[in-house]
Amino acid sequence: MLEHQHIYIDGAWRSPSDDQVTEVVNPATEQVVATVPAATAKDVDAAVAAARAALPAWSRTTPAERGVFLDRLHRGLVERADEIATTVTAEMGAPRRLAERVQAGLPVAVAESYVRLLETYEFEERVTTSLVVKEPVGVVAAITPWNYPLHQVVAKVAAALAAGCTVVLKPSEVTPLDAYLLTEVLDAAGLPAGVFNLVPGTGSVVGEALVAHPDVDMVSFTGSTRAGKRIGELAAATVKKVALELGGKSANVILPDADLDSAVRAGVANVLSNSGQTCTAWTRMLVHRDSYERAVEVAREAAESTVVGDPADERTQVGPVASAAQRDRVRAHIAEGIDQGARLVTGGVEPPDGLPTGYYVRPTVFADVTEDMTIAREEIFGPVIVLLPYADEEDALRIANNSLYGLSGAVFSASEERAVAFARRLDTGMVHINGARLNLIAPFGGYKQSGNGRELGVHGLEEFLQAKALHLPAPAATGRATP
């Protein structure tokens, strides 16, 4: 069993102030595979002090100088990609193929994107007689989730470092191991002491101490809307900047002219990927009432043909959810859907056949779902799809926008023009047209209670910058002066 005994502060591995540890459980075997320190508020104070002390020098480095370190980060992640995939599979149950392609692949691509961006981004611009300079926000507390653990870390850390900020990272206590790998890479890259610091621990102790800390200038958080609201409350006392990437209940609108079977299969695959633990998953499938029963049958076939099993098996498409608590939460939602009268098409609360051990949930499809049902309104964060019929496009638009959330969505149509026109009217931060993939240099973020702020690309970099206007004297007028 792996035992991490130190936290990372001011460029060095240090013993924490307390001997408490957090156990990391493999969700496929239910066995403890590692322990990491549970840092305290005292450790947070030390980490923030180190980040504050390092800020003046780091913020004055040139983009080219910062790009050198980010290039080393990128190369280090490439070299350890196989180890990253293995680690994420062990700590949160991602199937091996998904872990290689997504859980390890996305952080590599995001790190490289910030190397490239620093080669072209202009940190100064002239606005008539003023010079506008874009400066780092300062000390950033990055608080990250467990569903895409390293990707979410790199999306914050790489952007903050590129902007000239210093960082204190609190990874999820469910999946802290990949953050240790990242820290080892940054340490080997020779990042100046204090620029990056790692304090693993719980949200109630480390997270709240970071958010409330007077010397933290910004909090970048990804997680539940409930936790995001708490962060907003705590951060308000010091009026620090807060960027929140929160929950979603995204609609997948299949217009009547779309290839129904392929659109339904794409929608099911989207939700089941990562065991449904994706904030942008298209969990509400909206289908015209004339095609509805056909869509229900295709969704059932797609869900039942998906291979659920040991994430180490190359054939597995859906592994366990990340924890016992998450398994219980998802199953409770499924039970509530049944109790509220939704038609259970496939799946349910029982564990998948042949998998008595592990935090597995059956891929589940519900039909005859109404807009007021809990499973149509709340983020389940598991392999659960709900199908809702609509009468016409205006009805589909109304249903899609009838949500507290607005993170992502999808539109399928035989006409890209028609799909784009519909997507423009959706109250959501991202829309995938006809199954298009995520663009890692386009802005990532949501509307409404899905949060505020953006990650990735230029928009992600600018979250960690603040604009200063230097108002310069107007040029002297030409010609003879007035007496």
Which member of 165, 173, 279, 455 is catalytic? 279
* Sequence-ordered list of residues with C-beta below 8 angstroms from that of 309, at least 6 positions apart, any chain: 315, 316, 318, 319, 352, 354, 355
Closest CA to 408 of 440, 431, 442: 431
For residues 255 and 418, is the Cβ–Cβ distance under 8 A?
yes
> Cα dihedral sign for 46, 50, 51, 56?
positive
Active-site annotation holds for 165: no
- DSSP state letter for 318: B
Distance between CA atoms of residues 266 and 216, nearest Å: 42
Structure tokens, 405: 């959330």
Helix ranges restricted to H, 61-132? 63-79, 81-92, 96-98, 105-118
279 a catalytic residue: yes
Task: State the catalytic residue, choosing from 100, 245, 455, 463.
Answer: 245
Instruction: List, in sequence order, every residue forming a beta bridge with 197; answer none if it has no partner.
Output: 168
- Which residue has 């949930």 as its token pair? 361
Instruction: Give backbone dihedrals phi and psi of 372, rounded to 5 degrees, phi first.
Output: -90, -10
One-letter identity of residue 109: A
Judge residue 475's burial from the number of C-beta atoms within 10 Å of its C-beta, 0-12 exposed, 13-18 middle, 19 or more buried: exposed
Nearest 10 degrees: CA dihedral of 66, 70, 76, 81?
A: 170
Note the helical H segments in 119-240: 149-163, 177-188, 208-212, 225-236
Instruction: Write down the residue that tokens 């809990």 correspond to.
Output: 374
DSSP-derived pairing of the beta strands 432-433 and 124-127: unpaired
Cα–Cα dist 347/363, whole Å: 5
Q: In what order do the strands lie in the sheet with 432-433?
A: 343-346, 364-367, 384-390, 284-288, 251-254, 409-412, 432-433
Q: Which two tokens stand for residue 445?
A: 């973020």
- In angstroms, the CA 292 to CA 294 distance is 5
d(Cα 93, Cα 89) in Å, to the nearest integer? Answer: 5
Bridge pairing between strands 139-143 and 218-222? parallel
Strands 251-254 and 284-288: parallel
Q: Which positions are annotated as active-site residues? A: 245, 279
